Amino acid sequence: TQEEFSELVAYADARFVTVLPEFEMPGHYGAAAHSYPKLNEDDVAGPKITSTGIHTSRFAHYDPDTWELVADILGQISPLTNSPLIHIGGDEAKGVTHEEYLHPMDMIKQIVDSIGDITIVGWDDIANSNLSGGDIWVQYWNNAANTLEAADRSMGIIISPGDKLYLDMVYSRQPRIPSDFGLTWAQEN
């Protein structure tokens, strides 16, 4: 809930931690596709995804209802965080053509601009969009060429090349025991 999120932000703020929400598009939106069938091209709820990995994303890129919901979500969450940044993801958009990728990035930029003084952050894949300028930051994690392209377009850069640093992993060299919590895919790759 918004109240719970506000409590989390206050807890983090008291410890000098900034909460940077990530609203992922056009990939990694399986929960939204399952919960809001209208976001999908066929108006049918997407499958409930219970596994890790990259899943095909086919949301209704050109439906105004999609962007009304996105604007509502971003408009509600932005004032609740203690950050002038909002992360839009933009990575691993499996099943999305380049043209289909450009449209959501442009729409998100328009929505964020309408909300106020917020800086967009996205994974280095967003260097493949039409976005540019100092109010867009690219977070390097995977593709150095994308990051160089972003620098050429005057985007800010966040360097975080640790592609195996996830807080939900089991970090142990010992054999996994049933009481361990966390995922193991990073250890397997």
How many C-beta atoms surround the C-beta of residue 126 within 10 A? 27
If you average pLDDT over residues 32-58, what whole number do you get?
Answer: 81
Q: What is the pTM of this model?
A: 0.82
Angle, vertex CA 30, rays to CA 163 and CA 145, nearest 5: 35
6-22 pLDDT, tens digit per residue, is: 999 999 999 999 998 88
Under the banding of pLDDT at 50, 70 and 90, the label for residue 158 is: very high
- The reported pLDDT for the residue numbered 10 is 96
- The reported pLDDT for the residue numbered 8 is 95
